[in-house]
Structure 1
Amino acid sequence: MGEWSPEATGGEWIEGAAAAAVGAQFKGTNKTATHNWESIVTVDVCDAPRKFSFSLHAAGTHLCDWVYEIEPSTTGCQVTHAWVASPQWAGFEEAGIGEKISGVPKRAPHNLRSMEITLDNLIKAVK
């Protein structure tokens, strides 16, 4: 992911995980122009090669899910990349916690743009 994403720079499996599997955790590394941070996430769906998703929890609160879906198309495949904020996300953002961690005050528009860049970079990589 680090080679395509403008924000996610890499990750490593933790807690004894060696590969993607439901329940496995990994520590992702991220950066913006002003901040670097790590997030520990849990794999929720691992249906290779069709769907992969993971969730971010902090302080015992589910904050969001990242979802990647791959479907066959007439020209190869279609990749859908989504960020789904939980109902608790608004309070997290209103408290300014996300901005303190990442330097991003409004995550939804930022993530939309980042996902567009990621998908564009993925297309370039496979051509």
Structure 2
Amino acid sequence: MPVESTAPDATGQIEIQAPAEKVYELLSDPGVLAELAGEYSGYKWLGQVRSARRGARFRGYNRNGPRRWSTVATITDAEEGKRFAFDVSAGPLAVSRWQYDIEPTENGCRVTESTWDRRAGWVRTLTGPISGVRDRASVNERNIAATLRGLKERVES
């Protein structure tokens, strides 16, 4: 899938002192992402594929306080050591895209996590009460920062 042509709604970046391949290994594991993320709390593979490769799908379970909801993620990019990305939907409705770009640096790698909100305006209005979030971009910025800090701590420890 080509890189998004519009700026992400939320993004963050961190330097990690570890090889890009090691970082990719963690980021491309939906279980590890659930351990690191703010709202995303678990997953279940869908269909026959049980690994992070293009076209694989998983149900993502999310939570915000007492609120719970699930979505379906379809992996669009699985380039070892470079990019892991997936599109999120709720039934027939597009929800978002999440993308993790990894660039080698002199001392390890730089990870950029980005997300694009793909919900139509009327869907945003209806889904706000489900998640309890009115300003999705701000919450995603905070969640991305926390995810990246957790990733750094996990990889570097």
CA deviation map 1:53-108 (0-9, x unaligned): 1111234232210001111012201111111122x443321x232x2321112211
Alignment of 1:70-89 (within 5 A): 70-86=102-118, 88-89=119-120
Structure 1 position 15 matched with structure 2 position 47: yes
Q: Please report the RMSD computed on the Cα atoms of aligned residues, expressed in angstroms.
A: 1.5
2:121 corresponds, among 90, 93, 106, to: 90
Q: 1:116 to 1:89 in 2, by over 3 A?
A: farther
Structure with greater proportional helix content: 2
Query: Is contact 1:69-1:79 (8 Å) kept?
Result: yes
Structure 1 position 42 matched with structure 2 position 71: no
Greater relative contact order (CA < 8 Å, ≥ 6 in sequence): 2
Structure 2, unaligned stretches of length 5 or more? 1-32
- Read off the aligned partner of 1:102 and give its amino acid letter: S
Using the size of structure 2 for normalisation, the TM-score is 0.72
State the number of aligned residues. Answer: 124
- In structure 1, how many angstroms separate the alpha carbons of the residues matched to 2:55 and 2:90? 16
Identity of aligned residues (%): 29
CA deviation map 1:8-62 (0-9, x unaligned): 1121211122111211110111111131221111111111121111111234232
Query: Is contact 1:67-1:83 (8 Å) kept?
Result: yes
Query: Is contact 1:22-1:46 (8 Å) kept?
Result: yes
